[in-house]
Structure 1
Amino acid sequence: MSETAQAQPRPKIPQSVLVVIHTPALNVLLIERAKQPGFWQSVTGSKDFLDEDWRETAVREVAEETGIVVGSHCISPEHLQDWALENVYEIYPVWRKRYGPGVTHNTERVFSLCVPEGTPVTLAPHEHTRYEWLPLAAAADRCFSPSNAEAILQLPQRWSGR
């Protein structure tokens, strides 16, 4: 390979998770994308390999993007709830180049994670620059993704209140 040639990144797998992180009082954590200022969202991320378990993807993405570790002393694994809900949506054209040729749609599996009030958040600075804890309606209004906003609004019916 020549000095100027660089290895191309592996195409993203069009299967991702959406994890709505919230407190028992239903305040929702939103994070702002580093490369798209003003784009607020919950934790999202693609599988690393095709047969990666949805739950493994959710646990990994939460840790990578927020520093919150599912299974740590105050974040029980049972607080990560798989809604068994999958959204299929068209990938925004600006992000399609990260996927293989001809890939236009993504399947997103929805989870929620209840964390104690005051849970520290450590952002991955190359991915997100700011975070805020917001009440449900304000969080849903701030999201750029319709499926993310809808999941936030479904939280009161989906959360088991454990």
Structure 2
Amino acid sequence: MSYKIPESVLVIIYSPELEVLLLERADRPGFWQSVTGSKDSMEEDLAFTAQREVLEETSIDASLHTLSDWKLSNVYEIYPVWRHRYAPGVTQNKEHVFGLCVPRQTSVTLAPREHLRFEWLPLKEAADRCFSASNAEAILQLGRRLQT
């Protein structure tokens, strides 16, 4: 069995109007999040991981837009329901946060095995909808980042 690498990206996709794209998980209906995903190999560059995950989950080509590494990472406890995906004894994941600004009218095609639907939401509403605290905080940080 091939285990997931406990190092991932969180990509906050947003529009110039400050609406955030959220995705509803197929394996947990009602759980909303931004694009997330683990590195495919220890050598994989984090920016490449972010671009790959955005393309896989939304069909958005991040290379056509400005992907920014926020130089922010979070270490969090992996939810018990998903720990079987990691090597025995692995309980924490390091998540690196990126932002991606795209026009609101950008076409989104979801990976049906991963997500059920998507919505563009204002910052506060998007943060409130996220099941992950680190995802919600990153969305709120977007507003602060763009004010400076």
- In the superposition, the TM-score normalised over structure 1's length comes to 0.89
CA-to-aligned-CA distance 1:39-89 (integer Å, 9 cap, x gap): 000000000001211100000000000000022xxx33xx11100111000
2:98 is aligned, of 73, 90, 111, to: 111
State how far apart, in whole Å, the 2-side matches of 1:43 and 1:143 are: 12
Measured after TM superposition, the shift of residue 159 of structure 1 is 3.9
The aligned residue for residue 20 of structure 2 is 28
State how far apart, in whole Å, the 1-side matches of 2:41 and 2:140 are: 30
State how far apart, in whole Å, the 2-side matches of 1:158 and 1:57 are: 22
Tell me the SS of whatever aligns to 2:62. coil
Taking only aligned residues, the RMSD between alpha carbons, in angstroms, comes to 1.3
Structure 2 counterpart of 1:93, one-letter code: P
The aligned residue for residue 68 of structure 1 is 60
CA-to-aligned-CA distance 1:4-36 (integer Å, 9 cap, x gap): xxxx3x100000000000000110000000010
Structure 2 counterpart of 1:48, one-letter code: D
- The percent identity for this pair of structures is 66
- In the superposition, the TM-score normalised over structure 2's length comes to 0.97
Q: Return structure 1 stretches of 4+ with deviation > 6 angstroms.
A: none
The aligned residue for residue 37 of structure 1 is 29
Which consecutive residues of structure 1, in runs of 5 or more, have no partner in the other structure?
1-7
Q: Which has the larger radius of gyration?
A: 1
